[in-house]
């Protein structure tokens, strides 16, 4: 799983590096600040992808004496840093767009629309690919990486609309390109919340895993000696879910028999649900 995540982040970094160069060149020679703003975001995305890569590698470290539950919490913390990068880039883009609105400049070149059309298709395709892999391995930082691609697509759409208005409106509509950059900033900030909220939920150990809870209860009932389940608490750390489960057994069983049932249940859960990390079984008399 970690190898898949790392390959995905490297794919994002390479794609953003290439696109940043294309956007800067097209923006400079095509007289479009919206494209230059797009290039700034892609450049910031390269550094945020590097943070995600570092976070994934650290989160995969095995448990040790000081971290008995592993290092998975590093992943949402890295996600917070990614959000900070996005907010800073949005503010920088907005500031420069406001400056440009106050300064007369030339109309964008029509061919920049072709460049933007290709970029939009690429970034949305990248979003779909990265999000699919993020959901597969339950990685919050990889989901943030996917939303980077989606926000980049949004800024490119805004740039496309702004440049279109400027080109077809002609003289007097040059600032449409800059207003498009401002609109793109709003989308970026909105996406920041969408990235930040799940990571915060993970750090605060919110239990929002009803589907996984039902799977755990269903599997538990298939283990010989388990009569039912009571409390089931789940918390996520990195790509693993740690579980505290109360299982009911016949009250007249010996301590050793209850112990054996608990181990059988734990082994069964971890065998059938590969995403589970620590599993703590508490035996209750039926």
Q: Which residue has the tokens 């190898």?
A: 3
Residues 239-276: pLDDT tens digits?
A: 778 899 999 999 888 899 989 999 999 999 988 888 78
Q: Does 1 score more than 60 pLDDT?
A: no
Distance from C-alpha of 126 to C-alpha of 265, rounded to nearest angstrom: 40
pTM, two decimals, is: 0.65
Q: In the chain, what are the domains?
A: 2-203 (1.20.1510.10), 210-285 (3.30.70.1350)
Choose between 285 and 7: higher pLDDT: 285
Choose between 44 and 83: higher pLDDT: 83
Distance from C-alpha of 260 to C-alpha of 245, rounded to nearest angstrom: 15
pLDDT given for residue 104 in this prediction: 66
Share of the chain above pLDDT 70, in %: 95
Rounded average pLDDT over 4-30: 84
pLDDT given for residue 82 in this prediction: 77
Distance from C-alpha of 101 to C-alpha of 179, rounded to nearest angstrom: 8
- How high is the mean pLDDT of the chain? 81
Residues 148-171: pLDDT tens digits?
A: 787 778 778 877 888 788 788 777
Buried (b) or exposed (e) across 228-238, using 16+ Cβ within 10 A?
Answer: ebeebebbbbb
DSSP 8-state secondary structure symbol assigned to residue 64: -
Residues 201-241: pLDDT tens digits?
A: 777 777 778 888 999 999 999 999 889 898 999 888 767 78
Q: At what angle do helices 33-59 and 176-203 cross, to 10 degrees?
A: 10
Rounded average pLDDT over 32-40: 74
Distance from C-alpha of 18 to C-alpha of 8, rounded to nearest angstrom: 16
Q: Does 61 score more than 80 pLDDT?
A: no
Residues 78-105: pLDDT tens digits?
A: 778 878 877 887 888 788 778 878 776 6
């Amino acid at each position: 799983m970690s190898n898949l995540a790392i390959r995905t982040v490297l794919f994002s970094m390479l794609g953003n590096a290439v696109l940043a160069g294309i956007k800067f060149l097209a923006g400079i020679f095509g007289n479009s600040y919206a494209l230059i703003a797009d290039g700034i975001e892609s450049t910031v995305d390269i550094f945020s992808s590097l943070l995600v890569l570092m976070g994934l590698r650290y989160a995969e470290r095995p448990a040790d004496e000081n971290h008995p539950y592993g290092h998975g919490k590093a992943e949402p913390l890295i996600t917070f840093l990614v959000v900070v990068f996005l907010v800073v880039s949005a503010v920088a883009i907005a500031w420069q767009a406001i400056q440009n609105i106050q300064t007369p400049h030339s109309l964008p070149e029509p061919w920049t629309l072709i460049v933007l059309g290709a970029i939009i298709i690429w970034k949305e395709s990248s979003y779909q690919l990265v999000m699919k892999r993020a959901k597969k391995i339950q990685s919050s930082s990889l989901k943030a990486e996917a939303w980077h691609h989606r926000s980049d697509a949004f800024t490119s759409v805004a740039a496309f609309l702004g440049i279109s208005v400027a080109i077809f409106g002609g003289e007097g509509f040059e600032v449409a390109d800059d207003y498009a950059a401002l609109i793109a900033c709003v989308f970026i900030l909105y996406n920041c919340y969408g990235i930040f909220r799940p990571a915060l939920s993970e750090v605060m150990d919110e239990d929002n895993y009803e589907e996984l809870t039902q799977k755990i209860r269903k599997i538990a009932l298939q283990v010989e000696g388990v009569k039912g389940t009571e409390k089931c608490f789940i918390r996520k750390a990195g790509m693993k879910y740690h579980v505290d489960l109360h299982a009911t057994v016949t009250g007249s069983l010996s301590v050793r028999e209850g112990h054996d049932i608990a181990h059988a249940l734990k082994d069964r859960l971890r065998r059938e649900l590969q995403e589970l990390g620590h599993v703590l079984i508490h035996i209750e008399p039926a």
